Structure 1
Amino acid sequence: MGGVSDVLGDRTPRPEPVRRLLRTSDGIQIDSVLLRRALPRTSAVVLANGFTGTWRNPATAMIADRMLGVGDVMTFDFRGHHESTGESTVGDQEVLDLQAVVEHLRGLGYTRVATVGFSMGAAVAIRHAGMFGGVEAVAAVSGPSHWFYQGTTSMRLLTFGVERPMGRFFLRKARNVRVVSRAWEPVPPDPTELAGRIAPAGLLVVHGDADSYFPVDHAHRIHEAADDPKELWIEPGMGHAERAMTPRLADRIAEWLAPFLSPATPPPTG
C-alpha cells in the first residue's frame, strides 16, 4: 500500500473542481462538485455527508483531498441542504440523491466507483448499495444500524430538531437545511436489513468508541448483518462522523478502498 500513500501526498497541479447540478429520478436538483487529478482516471470515490453536512465543510474537503489518492472524488449536498433543492427526508429518499451521483459518474466514464458515507450518509450508502448496487465498495463511518434510536442526548436533540416546527425553523435559518414535516410513510428498510445485499461489493464499517450519537453496538450490528468481503474498525477515542476524522484515518480508508478500485488488484475476500 506504500504506493497509495505516495500518491496521497502528491501536490501535482490538478484541474479546477467541476460543479454541477444533477437531477434525481424524482426531480430534485443535487449540488455536486467533482475533484480530479491531472491525468484522466476511471475510478471515483463519492463522499456522502451526515445530516446538515455539506461539501463546503473543511472536514469534508480534507477527506476528499485524501481520497484523491485512489480515485477522482465527487462531493455533493443531499436534498434540502444548501443549494440542493427539495427537503431533507433524513435518510429515506436520499438514496435517490446518491444514485443520481453514481449514475452521473458512470456516464462520465468512471468504471469503478466506491461510496464513503458518514452518519446519515453512512446509512444512505449502505441502503443505496443494497437497493441499487453499481458500486465496488462502501465505507460506512459512524452510521446507525436502525432508525429511531434515542439512547443518547445527541440523538434526542436531533430528533427534536427534525420533528418539531421550532427545530426545523432553527435548522432552516442556522444551518440552511430544510427538513420535510411529514413522517416516513412507509418506514424504509434500515441499514441492517440491506447490509446483507451489498456483497460482492466490499463493506468497511468504521466507528469511534467515543461517538456521542451512536454507540459501537450499531457498528457491530451492521457488520454482523453483512456478508464477506467486510471489515470492522472500532477506533479508540474517535467521536462522530466527518468532524472526528483525521488525515491518517482518511488515508487508511483510502488504502482499504484501493484494491476495490484497481482492476489489476483483486479485492480482499474477508
Structure 2
Amino acid sequence: MTTPTDGKTPDLSAKEQHEVEKNQPPRAAVLHEIIRKQGDQELERSIAALWWSALAAGLTMGLSLMGMGLLNSRLPEGDEFKVIASFGYCAGFLAVILARQQLFTENTLTAVLPVMTKPTLGNFGRLIRLWTVVLFGNLCGTILVAYVMLELPIFDSKTDAAFLEIGRKVMENHTSQMFAKGIVSGWMIATMVWMIPSMESAKMWIIILITYLMALGDFTHIVVGSAEVSYLVFAGELPWSDFWAVFAGPTLAGNIIGGSFIFALISHAQIRSESGKPKESADQAEKPDPQRIRK
C-alpha cells in the first residue's frame, strides 16, 4: 500500500478528481471579481435607467412596511409574536433583489469595488452619479408609497395603527443610535451581497436570513426606514426636519460606512494582499517536471 506524498486522497480516478475540483467553493478573489463586474455594469447604466429602476425599488420596498404592518395587526400582542411579524420585513428585499432593481445599500458594495480596484477621478464621478440617482429614486419611491398607504382607503384602522407603531419604534432611537445601527445594517447588506454569488441556489434563503436578523435587531436602513418614518410625517406625528436630521442623515451615513468603508474596504484589502500570490491551476499542479523526468 502506497502513501501519497502530496497529501491527496489515494486511489481517486481522473473523473473523481474533476468532481473534487468542480465542487470547490469559489475563492474570495472570484467573488470579488463577480461583484466588481456587476458594479462596473451598474456604473455604465444611463441616468434614466438608474432612475426608473431605483424608483421601482423604492415603491417595492413598501412591501416591507406592508408585510410587518399586516402581520402585527393580525397577531396577538406579545414579544413572541413580534418575532413572527419580523418576517414581513423580508418581503421588500426579496422582491427588489430578485427583480434586479436598484437598491442603494446594495450599491455601497457592488459599485464601490470598481472604484477601489481603479481609484480614478472618473470612477469616483461615476460612483457619485450612481449613488445620487439611486438614493433619490429610492427615497421618492418609499415616500410616495407611504403617502399612498396612508391616504388611500386600502387598510383597516388596526393595520393603519400598526404602521404608525412601526414608525414610532424607529424614532425611539436617538441620532447616535440611528448612526450606529445603520453601520450594522450596511455591513449586513454588504455581507448578503458578497454571499449570494457563492450560493446562487440558496439566494432566497440568504436574503431572508440577513434581512430577518436586521428586523429582529431593529437596525436602521435608509430605504425601508424612509417608508416607515415618512408615514409618521404624513400622519402629522413628525416634522420633516426630524425625518432628515434625526433619521435619514445619521442612518445614511451609517449605511455607507458599514457597506463601503468597512465591508468593501476590508474585502478589497484581502484580495489585494493575495494578488501577489497567483494560484496554481489543477492542470499545472499535475504536470510533471521535465528536468525531474530527464534525471
TM-score bin, normalised by smaller chain: under 0.3
The structure in which a higher percent of residues are strand is: 1
TM-score (norm 1): 0.25
Higher share in helix: 2
Larger Rg: 2
Larger relative contact order (C-alpha < 8 A, sep ≥ 6)? 2
